[in-house]
Amino acid sequence: MKISFLKNVSPLLVVLVLFGCKKTIKEISNNPPNIVFIMSDDHAYQAISAYGHGLNLTPNIDRIATEGAIFNKGFVTNSICAPSRAVMLTGKHSHINGKVDNIQSFDWDQDNFAKSLQKSGYQTAMVGKIHMDGLPQGFDYSNVLPGQGQYYNPDFIENGVKKRIPGYVTEITTDIALNWLKNKRVADKPFLLLYHQKAPHRTWMPEEKYFNLFDEKTFTPPANFFDDYSNRPAAAAHEMGIAKDMDLVYDLKMLDAEGEIKTKYRKHFQNMYNRMDDQQRAAWDAYYNPIIKKFKADSLSGKALALWKFDRYMKDYLRTIQSIDDGVGEVLEYLEQNGLSENTIVVYTSDQGFYLGEHGWFDKRFMYEESFRTPILIRYPREIKAGTVIDKMVQNLDFAPTFLDYANVSIPEAIQGESFRKLVSGEVSEWRDAIYYTYYEFPGEHHVKRHYGVRTDRYKLMHFYYDIDTWELYDLEQDPSEMNNIYDHPEYKDIQENMHQRLVEMREKYEDSDHLNKENLNRYLKAKGINDHIVK
C-alpha cells in the first residue's frame, strides 16, 4: 500500500512529507548563510603559509583559501587593535564611528552589522577578544576577554559576568566557540559567530605543546632589518625597534630567577608569569631557564644581540599562531561533521598586519605595507569557487556590508564600506582604485606619529602631522619595501600632484578633515591627561 501511495503522489509532496512539511525545496536552498568570522590579533599575512613567505605552516587557515578565496590586497583603515575592530563592526572609518584610538571609549549604542543580522532573525555570538569596554551589543551571547586578555588562566566576561578560566587562552577561546555551536545555538536559525583570538598579540606566550617548535631553526631577518630610515623622519622617530626597544623580559621571556636582567617592563611580565599554576610554571621554567642561562653566559651585544632578539621573537610569535591554526581546524571539522560547511561563510582575518623584522620593527601602526595590509581568506562553497585569488584592494571597512549582502539584509546608507560579494564571485570587475588610511594615537606608545594617506595600486602618499609636518611618496612597483621616499623627486612631480588630488577626494568621500583631526587629537590628549598640548 505504501509503495502504491508514493507512486501516485507528486515528488514535491514526498519531499514535504519527509521533511515534516516544514520547508519547501526553494526554502531549503534559500536558507540564509551562517557566518563564522574568525579574527586574530596582530597576525601578519607573512605568517600564513598560504601567502607563500615560508616562515611557518598554517594548514587549517590555508584550507579556507584552498577551498575558497584569498585576498592579496587586504588592508585596514587604522592599524591598531580597538579602532580596527570598531571599523569592522560598523563599516565606518574611525573618525565616523568615534573609536580613533585605544584610549577613548566605543559607543556600543551605534549600529553594527551584528545588530542588523540579529534583527533579521540571526542568532548571534561573540567569543574571545574585542578590546572595547562595555557589554557588546548585537549579540545574544558574549563571552569576551577584558581588555587585552591574558595568555595563561585568563579572565572572561560571559554576558557581563567575569570569571577566571584555567588553561591557555587560545584553546579556551576555541572551546567556548565550539560549546556555543554545539549547545547554545538554535539549530534551525541562521547564526553569526565572531570567534576572535587574543594571539598572536604581544607578549607572545606559547602554549606548552609548542615550546620546542622551531628550536632547530634560526630565522633570517628581512633584507631591510638594519634600516637607517634616511629621508623618512617619521619612521626614524619610532620606538618599536627589535634591536633597541624590544624588552628582554617582557617580550623575550628572560625572567631570570636572580633578578639580574632588569628591564622597563620586567614587573609586567612577572605578573603574567605569576598567573600560571605550579604545573604550568614548572613546564615554562623547564623550557626557558636553559635559554636564560645561555643568554647570560653569552653576553651578546650590538648586531649579534639584535639578531638573537629577532630569532627569539619570531619563534615565540609563530608558536602562538600554531595554536590558532589548531583552533581553526577544530571549528572547520565541527562544521563539516554537522553538515554546516556548504551553507556557512568562514572568514579568517586579523585586526591588522604586523612587522616581522621589516625596517627592524615589531608592532604595527604605520601605513607602511606590513602593518597596513592584513590577511583575508573566505570560504563559502555555495558561491565562492575554490582557489579564487582576489588582487583588488579591500579593507576591513568592507566586512559589515559584505556580511549583510550575503544575508540579503539591507545595507544602511551610513556604512562607508562596500560589499565584495560580487567581486569574489566574479560578477563584477570594476572596483575601487584607491583606499584611505588614518592613524591617531600619538603622543603614545611606540612613538608613531599621527598620519593619514592614500594608496592606489602603484603609489602611496602619506602626511605625518601634529609635532611634525612631512610628506612621503612611494612607488610600490619600483620600491615595494618602501625604502626610498620620492616625494620631492622632480621626475615624480605629476604623480605627486595626482596623489594629492586623490587624497583630497578620499577625505571628501569619507567626510574627514583637519578640523576632525584636531577634535580627535584634543579628545585623546584630554583622555591621557596631556592638557598642556591641547590644540586651539
6, pLDDT greater than 50: no
One-letter amino acid at 511 equals E
β 123-128/191-196 pair status: parallel
Mean pLDDT value across residues 376-405: 98
88, pLDDT greater than 70: yes
Q: Which residue has the higher pLDDT, 17 or 360?
A: 360
Domains and CATH numbers, the chain: 2-205+321-428 (3.40.720.10), 228-313 (no CATH), 438-533 (3.30.1120.10)
Which of 309, 315, 148, 311 is closest to 240 using CA atoms? 309
82, pLDDT greater than 80: yes
**Which grid coordinates are listed for 378?**
573566505
Give yes or no for a contact between 440 and 520, defined as CB atoms under 8 angstroms apart: yes
41, pLDDT greater than 90: yes
16, pLDDT greater than 50: no
45, pLDDT greater than 50: yes
Give yes or no for a contact between 440 and 521, defined as CB atoms under 8 angstroms apart: yes
Q: Given this model, what pLDDT does residue 536 score? A: 62
Give yes or no for a contact between 247 and 265, defined as CB atoms under 8 angstroms apart: yes
489, pLDDT greater than 90: yes
Q: Given this model, what pLDDT does residue 11 score? A: 42
Q: Given this model, what pLDDT does residue 531 score? A: 65
Q: Given this model, what pLDDT does residue 311 score? A: 98
Write out pLDDT tens, residues 261-289.
999 999 999 999 999 999 999 999 999 99
In a 3-state reduction of DSSP, which class is residue 451? strand
Q: What percent of the chain has pLDDT over 70?
A: 93
Q: Given this model, what pLDDT does residue 25 score? A: 36
Tell me the CA end-to-end span of the chain in Å, nearest whole number: 89
Q: Given this model, what pLDDT does residue 21 score? A: 37
Write out pLDDT tens, residues 470-480.
999 999 999 99
Q: Which residue has the higher pLDDT, 96 or 22?
A: 96
Average pLDDT over the chain, rounded to an integer? 93
CA–CA gap between residue 59 and residue 75 (Å, rounded): 23
Confidence of residue 17 (pLDDT cuts 50, 70, 90): very low
One-letter amino acid at 407 equals A
Q: Given this model, what pLDDT does residue 429 score? A: 83
Confidence of residue 2 (pLDDT cuts 50, 70, 90): very low
Give yes or no for a contact between 383 and 422, defined as CB atoms under 8 angstroms apart: no
In a 3-state reduction of DSSP, which class is residue 397? helix
Angle at which helices 399-406 and 81-90 pack, to 10 degrees? Answer: 30
5, pLDDT greater than 60: no
